[in-house]
Amino acid sequence: MSLVVLLGGARSGKSQLALQLAERAQAPVVFLATGEARDEEMADRIAHHRQERPASWATVEEPVELEQAVIGVDGTATLIVDCLSLWVSNLIERRPTPEIEAAAAAAAQVAAGRPGLTVAVSNEVGLGIVPLNALARSYRDVLGRVNALWVAAADEAYFVVAGQTIKLEELT
């Protein structure tokens, strides 16, 4: 069917839009969660997000091996990948940048090749100030490239701001 990428800031409405797109697809839904509960606050966030999803949806929790997780989902199901920004965060101190970008490109190609709808969610973190430390700058840069790889593989991409969407189009 297609790969749709939703980019935007924190609490912009990306994940809510992904849920709506999945419901409209009228197919079984698999929610691929990349977040890791490394502290109590994150555990609470994950629990809250689980409660937001319909009980009939399957959940796959995979913080690192994104490509394999996408491969493991039934191709006819609608797949929500939420989110690429947490996935990059999970990898940034574990793997060198070229490996992260190669893994992102491979996962994006697998997602784009699925017959069912895939909706990938990611934060856009490059619109603010230049981060003060090297790790934060590296994260911003890597996530920007990962987002670009996924958007390049996508059939459609949207920037979500305050619950509203702007369609992203390649200037030719």
User: Is 127 within 8 Å of 168 (Cβ atoms)?
Assistant: no
Q: How far apart are CA 67 and CA 60, in angstroms?
A: 13
Q: How far apart are CA 135 and CA 81, in angstroms?
A: 24
83 CB-contact burial (10 Å; exposed 0-12 / middle 13-18 / buried 19+): buried
Q: How far apart are CA 114 and CA 70, in angstroms?
A: 9
Q: Kindly list the domain boundaries of the chain, sorted by start residue.
A: 3-168
| Amino acid letter, residue 57 | W
Nearest to 118 by CA among 10, 48, 12, 31: 31
State residue 171's pLDDT score. Answer: 83
Q: How far apart are CA 15 and CA 52, in angstroms?
A: 10
| Amino acid letter, residue 60 | V
Q: Which CATH fold topology does 3-168 show? A: Rossmann fold (3.40.50)
Per annotation, catalytic residue among 9, 36, 46, 49:
49
Concatenated DSSP letters for 38-86? -SHHHHHHHHHHHHHS-TTSEEEE-SS-HHHHHHTS-TTSEEEEE-HHH
Does residue 48 carry a catalytic annotation?
Answer: no
The ranges of the chain with pLDDT < 50 are none
| Amino acid letter, residue 56 | S
